[in-house]
């Protein structure tokens, strides 16, 4: 009996190690920005990437309003530079995209507080794509420094989960969904609409899929887009810049 228990414990330990190794390999191999993506972003905005994340600012301009944007699961922050650069150029906002442990925002939902130290902005929004958006919503609902300072929330291909912001009348919210998104499908986004403030702004981009919120190529289990990446980014930038420009 003791041998059986020892053998079972040994097998479980091996399986746990293998599972841990598989997780590290899976999470440690994120979706990266496609070649040329950062160079494209730098045509309209200043992009600085370091070990803590990516900061995007308007060329030579001061930043009064900024967004802390959480990347989607297993996506590097550089992959969103091309999507945010035209918004920065249009509105003059700054964007800080922090790196996450194992590229998973769920492991550090409170990272916005430190990210806010990277720009001297007076007004702050939180935001994110996919899981990153859900964690940004969670951060906005918290009473820590970041949640208290945030005046708004920008959700790209995401929805509120695990919290409820319906009573936050002081929080401006933009939710952008994509018709061909199979990872945060529009029906689910609409079903979770009640968790947002009543005056939250919702936009659905026809023909766009989940991966087109960033610039990292196709994503497993996603839908097939019916519009080109450039067209999707233009419509995304218009919706986001319109929202931030009205703030």
Q: pLDDT tens digits, residue range 79-93?
A: 999 999 999 999 999
Chain centre to alpha carbon of residue 58: 20
- The contacts of residue 194 (CB under 8 Å, 6+ apart) are 166
Residue 227 CB coordination number (10 Å): 19
Average pLDDT, rounded, for the chain: 89
Instruction: Indicate whether 40 belongs to any domain.
Output: yes
Domain membership of residue 143 as a residue range: 31-245
Instruction: Indicate whether 23 belongs to any domain.
Output: no
The number of residues in the chain equals 247
H or E, element range at 173: strand 172-178
| Alpha-carbon separation of residue 70 from 7, 84, 103, 125 (angstroms) | 43, 12, 10, 11
Instruction: Indicate whether 16 belongs to any domain.
Output: no
Instruction: Indicate whether 8 belongs to any domain.
Output: no
Instruction: Indicate whether 24 belongs to any domain.
Output: no
Q: pLDDT tens digits, residue range 184-217?
A: 999 999 999 999 999 999 999 999 999 999 999 9
- The contacts of residue 11 (CB under 8 Å, 6+ apart) are none
Instruction: Indicate whether 5 belongs to any domain.
Output: no
Instruction: Indicate whether 17 belongs to any domain.
Output: no
Where residue 90 sits, what CATH number does that domain have? Answer: 3.40.50.1820
Instruction: Indicate whether 187 belongs to any domain.
Output: yes
Count of domains for the chain? 1
The pLDDT-based confidence of 6 (bands split at 50, 70, 90) is: very low
pTM of the model as a whole: 0.91
């Amino acid at each position: 009996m003791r041998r059986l228990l020892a053998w079972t414990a040994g097998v479980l330990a091996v399986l746990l190690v293998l599972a841990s190794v598989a997780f590290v390999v899976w999470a440690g191999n994120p979706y990266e920005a496609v070649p040329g993506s950062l160079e494209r972003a730098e045509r309209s905005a200043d992009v600085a990437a370091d070990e803590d994340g990516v900061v995007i600012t308007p060329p030579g301009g001061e930043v009064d309003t900024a967004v802390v944007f959480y990347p989607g699961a297993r996506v590097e922050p550089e992959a969103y530079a091309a999507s945010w650069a035209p918004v920065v150029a249009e509105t003059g906002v700054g964007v800080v995209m922090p790196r996450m442990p194992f590229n998973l925002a769920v492991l550090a939902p409170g990272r916005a507080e430190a990210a806010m130290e990277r720009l001297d902005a007076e007004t702050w929004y939180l935001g994110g794509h996919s899981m990153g958006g859900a964690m940004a919503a969670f951060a906005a609902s918290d009473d820590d420094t970041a949640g208290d300072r945030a005046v708004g929330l920008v959700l790209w291909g995401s929805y509120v989960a695990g919290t409820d912001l319906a009573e936050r009348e002081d929080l401006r919210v933009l939710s952008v969904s994509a018709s061909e998104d199979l990872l945060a499908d529009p029906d689910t986004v609409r079903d979770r609409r009640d968790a947002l403030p009543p005056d939250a702004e919702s936009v659905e981009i026809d023909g766009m899929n989940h991966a087109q919120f960033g610039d990292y190529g196709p994503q497993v289990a996603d839908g097939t887009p019916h519009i080109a990446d450039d067209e999707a980014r233009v419509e995304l930038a218009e919706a986001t810049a319109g929202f931030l420009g009205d703030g």
